[in-house]
Amino acid sequence: MNTDPPENRHRRRTDQTLNAATAALTRLPQATPRLEAELLLTAATGWTRTRFMTWPETLVEPAAAARFDALLARRLAGEPIAYIRGRQSFWTLDLRVTPDTLIPRPETELLVEIALELPDPQRPRVVADLGTGSGAIADAVADERPHWRVIATDRSAAALAVACSNVRECGLENVLLLRADWLAPIAPHSLDLILANPPYIAAADPHLGQGDLPYEPSSALASGPDGLDALRRIAAEAVRCLRPGGLLAVEHGFEQGDAVRRLFSEHRLVNPETRHDLAGLDRVTLAWAPEVHQSEKSP
């Protein structure tokens, strides 16, 4: 005989709700079922994940359960959890994301690590983050180096609106947002560092139809027949904008390291090298502007 009060008989326990959702999410490729179930229930209830673990017997209110079921249905249909929640963690920050921006990914944090490796970290520097999207790279660097000036460019007004909200939420006063096409408005020899996670997937690559990618803006993913169109633009403009000895670092596909190093060398960037991500794959290539620009050499 059920001895629960009548008002509780149709309410679900937290642990039961999470277990059922976790089982359902195991059928979804590339999902992290338990984590995603907890994140969705957090979004639906406003509770913390710690509360789920501490009081698993807590009953979920019907209205919250309905919200959770709706969110879970969206995830099971393939929508990325970052867009469902409207948030994504990156570096030490929790950022707003929308379908107008790429979802920040852990491998992109390698660009932040490279920026923070620069010697004399107390020296003021001017940094550009190209194609900033949600502002993830710019905000992470600006937060770690509040005495640096970070210029974040994007040609999408919708993406810049998201980036602007993240700059405000993070309380950053050293980020300047510009609507621009890569380095077009940047003055000659004005930057110490250029960072970019540009589109680098070939336009016909079948991966564009898999996982989260169909939901993300195609302009932030695909770049010409070989995926290198944006990287060519950036490499061609970098030496003009970098100060002597300045650094360019770009993210790219795991099979593009050789091509990007050649591209950098063709555009007078020196000592190109490729760094690996945590999976051991080529992920970021960096190179330096010459210590003396060609125009400054004596005849």
Question: Token pair of 292, please?
Answer: 């003396």
Q: CATH fold of 98-296, please?
A: Rossmann fold (3.40.50)
Reply yes or no on whether the pLDDT at 160 is more than 60: yes
> pLDDT tens, 231-289?
999 999 999 999 999 999 999 999 999 999 999 999 999 999 999 999 999 999 999 99
Cα–Cα distance between 243 and 289 in angstroms, integer? 7
Going by C-beta distance under 8 Å and a sequence separation of 6 or more, which residues neighbour residue 77? none
CB atoms within 10 A of CB 291: 11
**Closest Cα partner for 68 from 92, 55, 82, 85?**
85
- Condensed to tens digits (0 to 9), the pLDDT of residues 170-179 reads 999 999 999 9
Return all residues near 6 (Cβ < 8 A) that are at least 6 apart.
none
Distance from C-alpha of 87 to C-alpha of 190, rounded to nearest angstrom: 33
**Which candidate, 84, 50, 49, 45, places its Cα nearest to that of 62?**
45
* Tokens of residue 271, six digits: 């000592």
Which single residue is written with the structure tokens 């209830």? 45
Statement: residue 125 has pLDDT above 90: yes
Question: What is the predicted pLDDT for the residue at 299?
Answer: 36
84-105 confidence digits (pLDDT tens): 999 999 999 999 999 999 999 9
Measured from the Cβ of residue 22, the count of other Cβ atoms closer than 10 Å reads 17
Q: Are strands 149-154 and 175-179 parallel, antiparallel or unpaired?
A: parallel
Q: What is the pLDDT of residue 4?
A: 47
Distance CA 271, CA 66 (A): 57
Q: What is the pLDDT of residue 56?
A: 86
Residue 130: left if φ>0, alpha if ψ -120 to 50, beta else—which one?
A: beta
pLDDT tens for 218-231 read: 999 999 999 999 99
What is the CATH code of the structural domain delimited by 11-78? 1.10.8.10
Q: Which of 49-58, 63-72, 102-111 has the lowest mean pLDDT?
A: 49-58
pLDDT of residue 296: 47
pLDDT at 10: 57
- Percentage of the chain with pLDDT > 70? 94
- Top pLDDT among 251 and 296 is at 251
Mean pLDDT for all residues in the chain: 93
Q: What pLDDT was estimated at residue 294?
A: 52
**pLDDT band with cut points at 50, 70 and 90 for residue 298:** very low
The distance between the two most distant Cα atoms of the chain, rounded to a whole number of Å, is 97
> CA nearest 150: which of 194, 111, 183, 105?
194
Q: What is the pLDDT of residue 293?
A: 54
Domain limits of the chain?
11-78, 98-296
Quote the pLDDT of residue 3.
45
**One fold for 11-78 and 98-296:** no
Q: Are 196 and 169 in contact (CB under 8 A)?
A: no
